[in-house]
Structure 1
């Protein structure tokens, strides 16, 4: 009987039907692996295309074109009375010094139209640069020194190759006469590319060459600090209560369901909630980091609560039982034993939630943080904008120079997000306990 069964089994293993079925399963497995590999390669390719598109357009935002001119700090223009009065020096017409230098460089330019085009080679920020130089060193008055001045946005685009010189003149913002002036300046070594420090120190501006992300970065920092100070303690306390103290009844089940549902609510709904509560009811200042932080805290709370509950739930029950068995109260067991052991997971979830908040735009648009803000905010109540909104505003600008500013700001924002996620991974790996 046993030999017959073994013979029958052996014949089944070696049968043609079994061999075909096995080959079919192997082919299906190979196809599945290839499809999975193809999906991964497709995702990586699309990610590479996206990053290449951003970096190829944005890396030039970190350098800026400068024009070097021999500036004569004429006493007749700056200090006619020779008193060196600081107020008189501050109100002097420094733009005329730049215009005189350009006239001296190109004496053949005489018509009003050509002079206007010639003066546009240098940014109107040049007058402020000269004013600061004289304020720091009044002895410059009466001297002629070479000064590197910020170039206009069109000159910057030509220097960086974003404007095609070979295109038809009518299709170019920079005309042939301006290109000829630039060629002369470049031949004399008066055109240079330098690190664009103003991109990180200036606020927003209508002039692309002067626009920076300092205001948006400070606004994002204030907003994230408010979000963390509100969402983190409330989210952690809520998670501890629901996991360790809340009785199992229908009311608490309803709360858990609502928390899970809130995590999937579109972010713009939280913007409407912030608009209704913080602006229309509480009358807090519009477009302020305080309101933005409160709104993003509402949006981030469900994420932090869910992550914190999962981290608390991952702590073995033996820790609770041991603490209670040694005489600790339920509160002491929760705060002295369970919370410290679950903190790595809680911090990871918090950082991920804050990373999500850092990239949000829709809820902040609803509370007015889409306004043009040129000044860097000094407090949480000052008008401000944030990085995603700044990117949105620049992307909607018609000037070609704002394209690189937009991509450069995206690169900075991606850098912050990568750092925050790297911090979350570091905390999880460093403090994670395996039970």
Structure 2
């Protein structure tokens, strides 16, 4: 049953093989019979007629060659019956030699047919992979072009932008550093026409503190501006409120809101490139504006300093408050890393090395408490992976300079996130835990 299923043709190609095999076989015998009627199999001549099974075996393999030989057998039996020839005169040696010749050529053909199919499959697979690789390279080229455009339009990083904002000093009147802030957001967020206005008691002042492009005085009655002041959040024409249906000459409105929710200024954007109106760019604009608001209101942080934090640098505490709000409102995490050791001359030199190896935006505070020396390092915009990299960098620095890791020099390392309000209480608790662990470590 399995042999019959294997022999029966399946598909158009196999049907054509059978037709071609039978036509060539019977055609060769017919030609031989027309030339030599008394010896159609060329038993007494050179067996030219056996070239048909050989050619078929070379073309289609042993199976079709056997079909051709069987057709020869049927033709001879029919011819013998027609000529009244005794079947005992069947040319056994001729059929044996022809069959062996067909099988040798058929086996040779089968081997090379298999190899050819293997090469074809490999070539087909290679072509598919090449096409897939071509598509991926094309997408990579598009991504590279987009990254190049972003790099041209935004040459500085967010960390560098926040570092520039730290140069702004608080002012008693007006908006301190308005021009610096405007230059920064234009460069970072690719704004074309925009203006910054001061807000006093939720009322926009008519004078422009800083602007870029052909900016006209702000329209306080504009629906987009009014919605921004009402919600205290960044709004643009593609927000969920579907403000695109409301007539407005502004594309984006951003409030400069401090940690306690006080709006100090508002940034109105009239024109910007279409590709810049995206979620990531809007988040960057909101982060820079919020950081700017907290920077110019640094004096407001002084009343929140507890007795334990009276020696805390104002820039350090200001940065903690600002970054705490970024983590609370925009889920941009930051970390505080604490290094604590016994108050000795060696530990002072070692912690000084840590404080001097910070990055540009990092803030440090080194102080002594309860016979311990503590160095707090604020890592803005840092997640757990950044913490691991920072600790590894400090350990390598200690190995190069002191020949041992911080833990081997009795320097304890702890870290915490800015996830608890008020932040002064969080900082007090963290310092207390550092000193307590140092005492326990010394007792052990």
Instruction: Point out which structure has higher relative CO (alpha carbons under 8 A, 6+ apart).
Output: 1
TM class, shorter-length: under 0.3
The alignment's TM-score, normalised by the length of structure 1, stands at: 0.22
The alignment's TM-score, normalised by the length of structure 2, stands at: 0.22
Bigger proportion of residues as helix: 1
Larger Rg: 1 or 2?
2
